[in-house]
Amino acid sequence: MFERINGHEQVLFCNDPDTGLKAIIAIHNTTLGPALGGCRMRPYASTDEAIEDVLRLSKGMTYKCAAADVDFGGGKSVIIGDPLKDRTPELFRAFGQFVESLNGRFYTGTDMGTTPGDFVHALKETNCIVGVPEEYGGSGDSSVPTAQGVLYGLKASNNVMYGSDELSGKVYSIQGLGKVGFKVAEKLLEVGADIYVTDINEKAIKNLVQVAEGLKGNVKFVEGNEIYSVPADVFVPCALGGIINDETIEQLKVKAVVGSANNQLLKDEHGTYLQQKGILYAPDYIVNAGGLIQVSDELYNPNKARVLAKTRAIYDTLMEIYQNSKAQSISTAEAANLFCDSRIESRKKRNSFFSHKKRQKWAVRN
């Protein structure tokens, strides 16, 4: 087991027979600050599968936090259970107690399979919770800054491709009209861009038709996998992971891929294949950090202007990664990982006397 968690600082198995809670909390790296990462609930086929997931996701959070410059480290938790049957207030209170036992080393909140309301129960046992409803001190819908981050990512990518940030006058293909994709689609139509869209949910499509009336851009709907082969300037994945793979790369007729979906590359090498095909890839964890920026900001007395400023910085970070990728002749995915590694390394060399708990008190007082 120790070999398996090599590279992680701590893995905690949480077992509470009274509530049926079986959870795993993984803390990958706290160089930049306490670990932060959501809590995913899934009926994992085995404990092994749950361990694999939590180890992979917590490592990803270390990179995402480093890229977003939020002074948190990487962590994640998973609850082994069926979100449709097993989500009880007692289970989340028990989970909150385990989080509290880590004494500020780990902050968590909602992820796939859990809701902000679940964490209202956990909040009764620990303050190390983010993303609760606004009436409980949360900062509201995190998909708003996430969509803003995607739009900044599109602007930076357009700048690299066309020498201008302008979003209008281009064609975008959007997969997924959920909380993030819908907002991105609406903004693009507003500025006069044309979009192809697909979603498995007909209601989302109907809603976009209504919204599109009166907006400058045109919208065209396509079925399922057709979205990969429509001719467009940018493919904007806002639904599934693993959609950049051997099959889809062959079909893409775009100049760039910029979207919110997590883990877009099926494998790391698909970042290189995109580069070889001349397609600019905006690393997902750089572009989709707006939500993380917002929930981490909650812990410093929420401030919407600060969230917007940090989300806007996604533009500059992405430009730096594009430049590094070009200068070093490496893929943008590799350049993003190196960018984060160097941020973490440089912090290791500098001892901070301003601890996280002190910083929180400072933020609340100011």
Residues recognised as catalytic? 76
Cα(293)–Cα(149) distance, rounded to whole angstroms?
Answer: 10
Cβ proximity to ligand NAD: between 8 and 64 the closer is 64
Cα(309)–Cα(306) distance, rounded to whole angstroms?
Answer: 5
Residue nearest to ligand NAD (CB): 178
Cβ proximity to ligand NAD: between 216 and 304 the closer is 304
Residue 85 CB, nearest approach to ligand NAD (Å): 20
Which phi and psi angles does 120 have, rounded to 5°? -65, -35
Cα(162)–Cα(165) distance, rounded to whole angstroms?
Answer: 8
Cβ proximity to ligand NAD: between 21 and 333 the closer is 333
Which phi and psi angles does 171 have, rounded to 5°? -115, 130
Long-range CB contacts for residues 249-254, cutoff 8 Å, separation at least 24: 249/273, 249/274, 249/277, 249/279, 252/228, 252/277, 252/279, 253/229, 254/173, 254/279
Residue 189 CB, nearest approach to ligand NAD (Å): 17
Ramachandran sector of residue 140 (left: φ over 0; alpha: ψ -120 to 50; beta: rest): left
Cβ proximity to ligand NAD: between 142 and 356 the closer is 142
Tokens 């007395």 label which residue? 301
The three-state secondary structure class of 271 is helix
| Interface residue list for ligand NAD (CB under 6 A) | 142-143, 146, 175-181, 198-201, 204, 238-240, 260-262, 288, 291
Q: Report CA torsion sign: 260, 262, 264, 269.
A: positive
Cβ proximity to ligand NAD: between 240 and 364 the closer is 240
Cβ proximity to ligand NAD: between 98 and 196 the closer is 196
Residue 261 CB, nearest approach to ligand NAD (Å): 4
Cβ proximity to ligand NAD: between 22 and 142 the closer is 142
Cα(230)–Cα(208) distance, rounded to whole angstroms?
Answer: 19
CB within 8 Å of 361: residues ≥ 6 apart: none
Cα(29)–Cα(107) distance, rounded to whole angstroms?
Answer: 13
Ramachandran sector of residue 7 (left: φ over 0; alpha: ψ -120 to 50; beta: rest): left
Q: Give me the helices (H) in the chain, please.
A: 47-68, 89-101, 118-122, 143-162, 179-191, 202-212, 246-251, 269-276, 284-287, 290-297, 304-328, 332-348, 356-365
Pairing of strands 21-29, 73-80: antiparallel
Residue 16 CB, nearest approach to ligand NAD (Å): 28
Residue 208 CB, nearest approach to ligand NAD (Å): 10
Residue 237 CB, nearest approach to ligand NAD (Å): 8
Residue 294 CB, nearest approach to ligand NAD (Å): 8
